[in-house]
Structure 1
Amino acid sequence: MGVATVNEVIRAAAVNWEIAPVTGWCDFEKRFLDVVASAEAELVVLPEYTYFELLTRADIAEDKVLAELLPLADDYTALALRAAHTYGCTIVAGSIFQSRPEGITNATPIVTPDGKVHWQPKVRLTQYEKDMWHLAPGAGLETGLGPLGVTICYDVEFPEATRLLAEHGTLILCVPSWTETSQSALRVRWSAQGRAVENQQFVIHSTLRGQLGREPLPFTHGTSAIIAPPVDPFVEPILNESGPGMSYARADLDLTRLLQARQGDDVRNWADRHPLVWEVLPPSSPSD
């Protein structure tokens, strides 16, 4: 598939990528292709910083990680394009360090089978990304993906970002993430579920698992999931969730049913979203 259209049923997969030792680029390349092939989906979402797996090649110092991985941006993007073409799928290919006009960013390549590449940089950076790597925030949100939208990890915790994407037609929000603690894993998951409720959209949450035993990946928490708005006709809001280890959450996303759900249930969050409904009133005096 190319970038989706709204009259499709899309087979989607959120990859629960578990870090494993690799000997070099060729080893990682084979594993990447195997993972995409095994996803058996038209839309595959990989986690944030998937290529941290390459740090298993050697004991690379924390402050050298950026210099080690930044030169691989073109190779990684070419690999994602090759996988998309070979297996006929659109890939939200995790995220990588990328040099952009605003500086070095944490950016997601979104690649299609016909060879197109779109980019979504992370707009709101964690303190670690700012302090350790001095990354630059992305300039804004990509809206040229049809019904797809991307918010990387921390970005999904800001309702105004996903609302803006939804206002520009996003029906499937893709959330590549990497979370080290149970608190951060829950923040991202609960935020993803909140965005599904607010915007009555599907959310695909893909997370990185495993560890290096050192920074920047001492350990990880979380699972991958595909989330629907909790309204009819969707019986369960979590359509599918990954198991332990390298695994997948898969689901068929019916965009027609999603649009019908926005108009047909007892609550209609999307239709009732208008900001002018809300007004801050002046403080009232308490009655005696």
Structure 2
Amino acid sequence: MRLGDRLAQSRLRSDATHHHPRGDCPVIVRIAAVQYLLRQIHDWSGFENQVRFIMKAAGDYKPQFVLLPEIFTTQLLSFMDTTDVRDAVRNMNDYTKRYKDLMQELAAQWNVHLIGGSHPTLTEDGRLLNTAYYFTPTGEIYEQDKIHRTRWEREKWNTDAGDQLRLFDTPFGKIAILICYDIEFPELARMVCEAGADILFVPSCTDDRQGFLRVRYCCHARAIENQVFVVMTSTVGNLAVEGLGLHYGQASIITPSDFAFARDGIAAEGTANIEQIVVADVDLADLESNRLSGTTIPLYDKRKDVYEHPVEVIKVK
């Protein structure tokens, strides 16, 4: 496999000790986004060993943030009874504690803020949520539920929708998590960015190229509209499980589009559909200056007064 040989070329800087003009946040933030390969495993140990390997590979680059893909834990279905896919997904909840304990341990071990992808989670009242878990190096665990469900989630898995959007004020800037389909709704990104978000993390899982590109193009749009960094990653590979047979994925770290940033608005991106880790440094100070004096400043130029008016419909003969 030689994962190390496949690590994406990254804009790595050795000194991340500057301070953010707004306070004590470092200006330079290193981010690692993992293209996670879904391969057949035979038990929990197979999953745990792969996650530990991935986290060591990412942790060696000493990032502040690591992002894993949406529902990458469905790899566990490869050794579970999936005769009834709705029951199988709900039975994954039996592994929620093990998953959380493992991620909590690895976030502390590698001293990273770990957005541990997302995991199907049953609530006490029987709802099935697609929940992103955020693990800090000091042991805290936070949650962000997916707010908009795809047709697959509604019709095949019969999941439920979350209804609370969160902004996390971390030592390395303010972040929000928008799970896959949620990034296709501009209002969510605007809400968290108007609340102060610096980085949007987008764990994703898509089965084909057009689905991947819907998410990817929306990540670029949200980065431009809100003058914010957007980090996306995806599952790759395949499983012999209904709905998980194919995956198309590529990790990327996306910037606003202006002179201070990468020419194409891409700080780093992987090679599609292979196991890989993408690493890049982003400068939070660039966001602040761009929002004040960029070529355009869409985060602040929004005409809220116009948005309060209903659309005028004119019949043309």
Same fold (TM over 0.5): yes
Correspondence for 2:193: 166
1:154-193 correspondence to structure 2 within 5 Å: 154-193=181-220
Correspondence for 2:71: 49
* 1:98-122 deviation per Cα after TM superposition (whole angstroms, max 9, x unaligned): 2336722000000000000110000
SS of 1:32's equivalent in the other structure is helix
Distance 1:204 1:56 in 2: 28
Q: Which runs of 5+ in 2 are unaligned?
A: 1-19
Q: Which amino acid aligns with 1:131?
A: E
Question: CA, structure 1 residues 57+281, in 2 after alignment: closer, same or farther (shift >3 Å)?
Answer: closer
Distance 2:313 2:37 in 1: 53
Q: Is 1:48–1:96's contact at 8 Å kept on the other side of the alignment?
A: yes
Distance 1:108 1:7 in 2: 25
SS of 1:271's equivalent in the other structure is helix
Distance 2:88 2:314 in 1: 56
Q: Aligned-pair distance for 1:133?
A: 2.2
Matched-pair identity in %: 28
1:91-240 correspondence to structure 2 within 5 Å: 91-100=114-123, 103-146=127-170, 147-236=174-263, 237-240=265-268
Distance 2:294 2:79 in 1: 52
SS of 1:156's equivalent in the other structure is helix
Q: Is 2:68–2:116's contact at 8 Å kept on the other side of the alignment?
A: yes
1:87 to 78, 99, 110: 110
Q: Is 1:241–1:248's contact at 8 Å kept on the other side of the alignment?
A: no
Correspondence for 1:66: 89
Distance 1:214 1:50 in 2: 13
Distance 1:235 1:131 in 2: 40
* 1:1-43 deviation per Cα after TM superposition (whole angstroms, max 9, x unaligned): xxx9744311101111111222211121121111112113220
Correspondence for 2:38: 19
Aligned residues: 284
Q: Which amino acid aligns with 1:20?
A: R
Distance 2:175 2:315 in 1: 48
Q: Is 2:35–2:234's contact at 8 Å kept on the other side of the alignment?
A: yes
Q: Which amino acid aligns with 2:30?
A: R
Distance 2:297 2:124 in 1: 40
Distance 1:183 1:68 in 2: 30
Distance 1:170 1:101 in 2: 31
Q: Which amino acid aligns with 1:77?
A: K
* 1:128-185 deviation per Cα after TM superposition (whole angstroms, max 9, x unaligned): 2112222111121112344110000101100001111111111100000000122211
Q: Is 2:176–2:201's contact at 8 Å kept on the other side of the alignment?
A: yes
* 1:192-223 deviation per Cα after TM superposition (whole angstroms, max 9, x unaligned): 11100110000000101111144130201131
TM-score relative to the length of structure 2 = 0.83
